[in-house]
Chain A
Amino acid sequence: MKNPLHPLTWALWLLADLVILSMTRNPIYLGLTLCWIAVISVAIHWAGIAVNPQRLLAPFHFGLVVVPLAALINALNVHIGVTVLFVLPRALPLIGGPITLEALVYGLLNGLILTCIYTAFALVNQVLSVRAMVGLIPRAYYPLAIVVTIALTFAPLTLRQLQAIREAQAIRGHRMQGIRDWLPLFLPLLLSGLERSLQLAEAMTARGFASTQAQSQHRVARLGLVLGLASIVAGLWLHLVGPSASAGSLLTFSGIASVVGGLWWIGRGQARTVYRPTPFQRQDWLVATAALCPVLLFLLPLFDRTSLFYYPYPTLSLPEFNLIYGMATWGLLGPAFLPLRRSIA
């Protein structure tokens, strides 16, 4: 079955994930988020959207390694906290000192956040093709989109080429011992890569691709982009250190609007069409709106936010749980309902 969601919806979903993960260190909310990512992974596998179950599970294996590793590294490096598990001799550089439960837990949470980010990205990577992802690049940057496409298709080709060259050099009696022995591999790889790029450039020229475009009519739009970016930065600065947070927010939002508008304006001028465009449908609105809810709840000071800021130092405590935020994470579950849509249709 084809991926029924618009690439933009997946991008928004991913963004919502990242916002939540950056707003909280509460293990309950983190655990819930990871849980929903896992549920979606299983659901889309069940729906036949992502076909390779091994690649769906691999990111979770990554978590099994990363969580203990992050906990260990943090415990060895950070020696604050009350609950001392044991003490390493202080003579040892960096790792010497008391090993505390608090540092262990803090590292564990770091590992959990990393795992969530990794699994979310891996999931999106599974459901979106190269082409769909490139389609997310604004039309104003069409040449950039082409460059990204080529780079993504070049990478596997280059790996295969490297393998062929490695074998070819072994045939000539080449033995790999030190760094210098890589030279005979690197040079032919570079040369053949350059040759291939030239051939591709020639082929693209022959097929009518030329990046020379009349740019002058976009001058106003470009100015808008620059001013927009500047006002975003200024707004954030006002928000963080300046006297007026509301003026900062206003500046930021108008900056974002100006950037989006500028990109749209430039993109409008690009005479280009899309083969098999994916329409933004009802289910896209549903999933995107659902994902936006937790983002707003986590970002805006509407409710008591103390439960978000879980901090194990100096004394470990049980994390608080606020039902509103717990429920809010449910908003991420939207893509898990895709298989249902198929059975209805």
Chain B
Amino acid sequence: MITFEHVTFFYPDRPLPALRDISLQITAGEFVLLVGASGAGKSTLLRLINGLAPHFTGGQLRGRLSVHGLDPVLATPQIMSRHVGFVFQDSEAQFVTDRVEDELAFALEHAALPAPAMRLRVEETLDLLDLARLRNRSLDTLSGGERQRVAIAAALALHPSILVLDEPTSQLDPQSAEDVLTALVRLNSDLGLTIVLAEHRLERVLPFVERLIYLAADGNSMVSGDARSVLHQIDLVPPLVQVGKALGWEPLPLTIKAGLRFSQMMVNVPAPSSSPPPQPIQPSPTVLQVKGLTVQIDTCTVLHAVDLTMRAGEIVVIMGRNGAGKTTLLRSLVGLVRPQRGDVQIQGRSIAGRTVAEICRQVAYLPQDPNTLLFADSVRDELWITLRNHGLETKPNAGQVIDNLLATLRIAALAEHYPRDLSVGERQRTALAAILVTQPQLILLDEPTRGLDYAAKDQLAGLLKGFARAGKAVILVTHDVEFANGLADRVVLMSQGEVIATGSPAEVLSPSPFFAAQVARLFPGTTWRTVEDVLVGVCTSGQATNCGG
């Protein structure tokens, strides 16, 4: 179905190839997962399949390519669109019209399908992705997951035999991401559609993929094969596989169910009491105090009597469904939303009557889309601009502060780069630098793990832990269960604008079927939540085979 023979691809004006000497073969009906760090050439490989590269991007191609018996370069993307459906990362930017039905009909109208056939085709496609009840909705009223399902439906309207998706869930919360991935699994198993998917969230799709293709960071080497054999060779794997690999479980479990078979056979799993006791909380100064915060937006109560206290050095994770009021809570802490009742005190001072700019000298707030923050010509300029906004640029040690911060965030080498050319993770750290340069004591982050791969997530977690050790208080809103479990000192669970539970991750998250980490599900009855917990715990009880590494 898809054949690459020694394919090398250069983007215009780049000395190094984005892909080098790639050879692979994908047969009809296969579900192929493409993984690799950001910048490894995943998007390029996908765009070669339907001819977008080089037709849209420009560039130079060597080697031979064949898709559905056609050469995508000779055939042009227009012809390839009949055989290959393509779904992009950002669901919002790929729509032409404003209504679900019209969006599905767009490509069909363009292909001049007769009206009755078109009617039938739209109905089929709506049912295929379970969109029938949304058919008349305006696209901007849909949730992220629904929008991405519309994008998939629109790509399938022309009845392609191959569906290519470029990180379709990276902008979505886990529930929406699951919906999308479940839909893909169904399309593959029911229709025999060939699917090529680039994706960071391996947890959900691993059990269903027939083949895993791993691209190394420089686009130079590639590992391809069935999921288990490739997982053995790469580091970008979910916690379940990490545990399996470390403890030598064979065959490598891809689902919790398979993993439980191994974990339950293990004897001497330490009882909960043997885990390290929680460290006594030192009386550190209060950084944030929220009392009875109530917010109404358009007669709808979004937050109801929320109380929250944070001390220096604490990391608090706020979790809950979409629309539970998490983002509104963060926004009201910096004055972007003004409460009807209640008060917010930051380092003992109420924020009432202060402007957002003033409050943000004490609080760093990273919104969901860090791109909105960035506009300067270089990373270093971004930091200077923030200082100038606050009238701090004349301070004697300002240059030193900037250099230190860039080094801490590991973007010192990028200081003179243009921020929008950086990878997602680097751009996020640049945005962080731009708001942290005033040295605030409170850091708020909204969904910081969106679009990050495992390596970038680890890096972010390390940074946040460092900030906490330096005495700052960190609040983050996330749907990322593994990230929350690995990082949180305290978890706040919200629903319908109210705080419904608060406590340590072990108390709040582990018992929950939805928020428990993979490790907690593998070892119920322990307080283990991360791979490190398991390795430390198991090695001290001395039963693992390969503890040394």
The complex places the Cα of A80 from the Cα of B396 at a distance, in Å, of: 70
Chain A: number of interface residues, binned into ranges:
35 or more
- Residues in B with CB closer than 8 Å to A171 are 334, 336, 356, 360, 365, 367, 373, 435
Question: How far is the CB of A78 from the nearest CB of chain B, in Å?
Answer: 45
Q: Are A200 and B360 in contact (CB under 8 A)?
A: no
- Residues in A with CB closer than 8 Å to B357 are 170, 173-175
Question: How far is the CB of A1 from the nearest CB of chain B, in Å?
Answer: 13
Q: Which residue of B is nearest A157, CB measured? A: B92
The complex places the Cα of A130 from the Cα of B434 at a distance, in Å, of: 41
Question: How far is the CB of B158 from the nearest CB of chain A, in Å?
Answer: 7
Cβ-defined partner of A204 (8 Å) among B96, B374, B385, B435: B96
Cβ-defined partner of A191 (8 Å) among B52, B389, B420: B420
Question: How far is the CB of B113 from the nearest CB of chain A, in Å?
Answer: 6
Q: Which residue of A is nearest B107, CB measured? A: A207
Q: Are B140 and A157 in contact (CB under 8 A)?
A: yes
Q: Are A168 and B367 in contact (CB under 8 A)?
A: yes
Stretch of B23-31, B97-105, B448-456, B516-524 contacting A (4+ beta carbons < 8 Å): B97-105
- Chain A, 181-208, contact with B by CB distance < 8 Å: what is the 0/1 string? 0001001100110011001111111111
- Residues in A with CB closer than 8 Å to B105 are 275-276
Q: Are B375 and A273 in contact (CB under 8 A)?
A: no
- Residues in B with CB closer than 8 Å to A200 are 93-96
Whether a CB of chain B sits under 8 angstroms from the CB of A271 is: yes
- Residues in A with CB closer than 8 Å to B114 are 273
Q: Which residue of A is nearest B363, CB measured? A: A171
- Residues in B with CB closer than 8 Å to A184 are 375, 385
Contacts A164-B372, A173-B390 known; A208 to B360 CB distance under 8 Å?
A: no
Whether a CB of chain A sits under 8 angstroms from the CB of B350 is: no
Q: Are B389 and A206 in contact (CB under 8 A)?
A: no
Whether a CB of chain B sits under 8 angstroms from the CB of A167 is: yes
Whether a CB of chain A sits under 8 angstroms from the CB of B108 is: yes
Whether a CB of chain A sits under 8 angstroms from the CB of B267 is: no
The complex places the Cα of A191 from the Cα of B376 at a distance, in Å, of: 11
Whether a CB of chain A sits under 8 angstroms from the CB of B55 is: yes
Q: Are A188 and B375 in contact (CB under 8 A)?
A: yes
Contacts A207-B106, A275-B108 known; A202 to B88 CB distance under 8 Å?
A: yes
The complex places the Cα of A205 from the Cα of B107 at a distance, in Å, of: 10
Stretch of A24-32, A147-155, A232-240 contacting B (4+ beta carbons < 8 Å): A147-155
Q: Which residue of B is nearest A200, CB measured? A: B93
Whether a CB of chain A sits under 8 angstroms from the CB of B125 is: no
Q: Are B389 and A273 in contact (CB under 8 A)?
A: no
- Residues in A with CB closer than 8 Å to B365 are 171
Q: Are B115 and A274 in contact (CB under 8 A)?
A: yes
- Chain B, 68-104, contact with A by CB distance < 8 Å: what is the 0/1 string? 0000000011100110101010101111111101100
The complex places the Cα of A165 from the Cα of B543 at a distance, in Å, of: 55
- Residues in B with CB closer than 8 Å to A167 are 336, 356, 367, 372
Interface centre among B102, B154, B435 (most CB of A within 10 A): B102
The complex places the Cα of A205 from the Cα of B122 at a distance, in Å, of: 20
Could you write out 22 A-B pairs with CB less than 8 Å apart?
Answer: A149-B97, A153-B97, A156-B140, A157-B140, A164-B369, A170-B336, A171-B365, A171-B435, A172-B373, A188-B375, A199-B93, A202-B52, A205-B52, A206-B88, A206-B155, A207-B110, A208-B82, A208-B110, A209-B107, A273-B113, A276-B101, A276-B105
Q: A161-B372, A206-B50 are in contact. List 11 more A-B contacts (CB 8 A).
A: A146-B96, A156-B140, A168-B367, A170-B357, A170-B360, A171-B334, A172-B434, A200-B94, A205-B56, A206-B155, A275-B119
A-B pairs with lowest CB-CB distance, top 5: A208-B81, A275-B105, A173-B389, A203-B94, A168-B372
